[in-house]
Amino acid sequence: MKRVLIGLAVLFLFFQTACQSQEELKKEKYFVEGYQLYTEHCANCHQTDGKGLEALYPPINGSDYLKNKEKVICLIRFGQNEPITVNGKRFSRPMPANPQLTDIDVAAITTYIYNKWGDETVISDVKEVSKVLDVCRAQQKP
C-alpha cells in the first residue's frame, strides 16, 4: 500500500512539473518527503491525522505549540523529556530523539507539518532549519 501511495505521489509530481516553477517543485518535493518521513517517524504517536492519542501524545493538528517553529524543529531532532502543555492540556510522556534524521529530513517534516496543519504555504528551507538545529545542539550540551 505504501509503495502504491509513493508511486501515485511520484506520478502526480511528474504530471505537475510542466506547469510548476522550480520553487513550487521544491515545495512539492519537501511536502511529499515530509509526509513519508512523518508517517515513518511521527504518526505512530501523533497519528496520521495529527490529532495525537488521547492523554498520551499531544496533537499537532490544531496545536498552539506550532506557534514556536524553532522549538518544534528542535523537538523533531532532539526529542523532549520534560512535560509540555499543548492546547491547555499537560502531556508528560517523553518524546524520543531522532538523531538519525538529517537536516533535510527535519526540514521536510517541518514543511509537511506546517503546510498541513500550521497554515503555511512555504517550505521550511534546510538552510534555516540547520541554523536552528545548530542552536538547539549548543543548548543540549552541559
Q: Residue 40: its pLDDT value, please? A: 97
Whether 16 and 28 have beta carbons less than 8 Å apart is answered as yes
* Predicted model pTM: 0.84
In the chain, where do the E strands start and end? Answer: 84-86, 89-91
Q: Residue 31: its pLDDT value, please? A: 96
Give the sign of the dihedral formed by CA 74, CA 76, CA 80, CA 83: positive
Q: Residue 3: its pLDDT value, please? A: 66
Cell of 37: 518521513
Q: Residue 20: its pLDDT value, please? A: 76
What are the distances in angstroms from CA 115 to CA 11, 27, 52, 96? 21, 10, 18, 23
pLDDT along the chain (142 residues), means of 10: 63 62 90 97 97 94 96 96 95 95 98 95 95 93 64
Q: Residue 22: its pLDDT value, please? A: 87
